[in-house]
Structure 1
Amino acid sequence: MRGAVASGPAYIQSRGTAMPQSNSVGSIRELVLGHFREDLVALDLQENRFSIIPDLPVARINAFIAAGGQHDPALATALQEHGLLEKALRIRDELSSYENEGLFETRWTTPATQHSWHNPLLLWRTALTLWHTGIILKTKGYAGVVSAIKNTSVRSRAAQRPDNLQRLMAHLNRAFIIDISSNKCLAYSLALCLLARRAGHNARLVVGVRTRPFASHAWVEINKEVVNDDPNLRRKLAVILDL
């Protein structure tokens, strides 16, 4: 699977500044942040909107948070312009910076699989999950994504068959023709994550971002390994959600 460019939430760019936090499913409430090179990317879950504040060092962001928003009026103004100031001031964790490298292709395809036989019942369940995923994205956006992951626990199962995940992706590939979302990589990855969790896999949904130009992309990881995409995505993008 390759990346989808800025599909889904709108995004806004300003000249100014931004904020930090823990982006795991248990701690997310209103606002999540990522830092790509020297740009801050904020995802407002309530508004389903990305905002970009360029040329903002991580140290400045963390100092602003630690001081409760004091001593940096320019940063406070930039956040206020995006409607993010109050939400940012409720963040308590520091924002980390990552050295991103490599070329990220802004092109999306479903992943290749080694499984060709299809089970009608599993295909139906996969299609139903995909349909529900599309409804979530259209009506609730990223807030719905967080809620869906939070409410889908990893089911306790016996030892997994080695080809189980390949089976899920093969069925999802076939069902994907009915996808109704405008954010294909997110719809596919959310559906796969939910299906994998129900099948007993400890799957995580990860969303990364980049700037100049802006792009967001979603993928699934199991045991810290990408299962449906480029294995080096964490080196190429800044992670803003890890659910």
Structure 2
Amino acid sequence: MMKFSKFVHHVIFNDEMVIFDEVNDNFIFLSDSETLSLVTALNTGKDSIIAKKLYEQGVLEKSDHYIDDKNFNYMTSKKFGIDNYEWRTSKKYRDTKINKYRKFYSAALLSCNLSIKIIGFHKTLQIARNTRNTLFCVKKNRSDENPIHIVSNFDFVSKFLPFKNTCLEYALTSYAVLTLLNYEPKFYIGLQKYDFLSHAWIEIDGKVIGDVPDLKDKLHIILSI
């Protein structure tokens, strides 16, 4: 009997599974036949070549019980995707108001970028998870700073930094800073399979901040914190 290893996420749509191995920062795509074979193996313990391969890769681990169908992340609604989308093209959803703490925003974005490069995506995400759990133990009042202004500041200061930032760095840095300012943001990674694209964004109270408002209607969510 096997199950998905910790920090391995998956989603099934159009009868095909996409697996995200967070620790190794790797997407794995299964065909419809491989998906059926894997689901059957995890449901019943039946021998499966793909299950054995994923176990050898560390994507699956030993378990003392079978996985029930309800524990698979099936997506039933049709998502239309966002084509060849880039976060920097969504400026109309951000604000032009820039506050005086530009050095702080530059340092935060730089720290996130270096953290992902040096210790990897998973450990950086763990820092974000732990920060959230620690800070939310004590209820505090939210900052008066508009969260859209915060995200807009990262967009502005990125022009003066000597490296390219993607939606991942923007979203994770915004998530960390908004958490420190006592908001309760949610961080998401969603995907479309054809042509493959993954995209990260943040929401507060169910509202997308500084990005396309209907991302949940367009992308399949595979990870959230």
Q: Contact 1:133–1:190 (CA<8 Å) still a contact in 2?
A: yes
Which stretch shifts more, 87-96 or 198-207? Answer: 87-96
Q: Contact 2:3–2:63 (CA<8 Å) still a contact in 1?
A: no
What amino acid is aligned across from residue 84 of structure 2 in structure 1?
Answer: T
Q: Which runs of 5+ in 1 are unaligned?
A: 1-18, 22-27
CA apart distance, 1:36: 3.6
Question: How far apart in 2 are the matches of 1:179 and 1:143?
Answer: 24
Q: State the aligned residue count.
A: 212
- Structure 2 length-normalised TM: 0.78
The correspondence for 1:49, drawn from 15, 26, 30, is 26
Q: Which runs of 5+ in 2 are unaligned?
A: none
Question: How far apart in 2 are the matches of 1:209 and 1:89?
Answer: 28
Q: For residues 36 and 78 of structure 1, do their structure 2 counterparts lie closer, same or farther at Cα, with a shift above 3 Å needed?
A: farther
The correspondence for 2:60, drawn from 67, 76, 86, is 86
Q: Contact 2:152–2:210 (CA<8 Å) still a contact in 1?
A: no
Q: Does 1:118 align with 2:99?
A: yes
- More contact order relative to length (CA 8 Å, sep ≥ 6): 1
More helix by share: 2
Question: How far apart in 2 are the matches of 1:78 and 1:212?
Answer: 24
CA apart distance, 1:57: 8.5
Q: For residues 85 and 227 of structure 1, do their structure 2 counterparts lie closer, same or farther at Cα, with a shift above 3 Å needed?
A: closer
Question: How far apart in 2 are the matches of 1:20 and 1:106?
Answer: 34
- Structure 1 length-normalised TM: 0.73
What amino acid is aligned across from residue 130 of structure 1 in structure 2?
Answer: L
**CA RMSD, aligned part only?**
3.0
Q: Contact 2:38–2:48 (CA<8 Å) still a contact in 1?
A: no
Q: Does 1:136 align with 2:99?
A: no
Query: Who is 2:9 aligned against?
Result: 32
Question: How far apart in 2 are the matches of 1:160 and 1:188?
Answer: 20
Question: How far apart in 2 are the matches of 1:88 and 1:186?
Answer: 32
Query: Who is 2:180 aligned against?
Result: 198
Question: How far apart in 2 are the matches of 1:88 and 1:100?
Answer: 33
Which stretch shifts more, 144-153 or 168-177? Answer: 144-153
Query: Who is 1:16 aligned against?
Result: none
Q: Contact 1:209–1:239 (CA<8 Å) still a contact in 2?
A: yes
Query: Who is 1:180 aligned against?
Result: 163
Q: For residues 63 and 226 of structure 1, do their structure 2 counterparts lie closer, same or farther at Cα, with a shift above 3 Å needed?
A: farther
Q: Does 1:152 align with 2:131?
A: yes
Q: Deviations over 1:153-203 (max 9, x none)?
A: 256432543x5212212211111122635x601011111111111111101
* Seq. identity, %: 18
Question: How far apart in 1 are the matches of 2:211 and 2:182?
Answer: 20
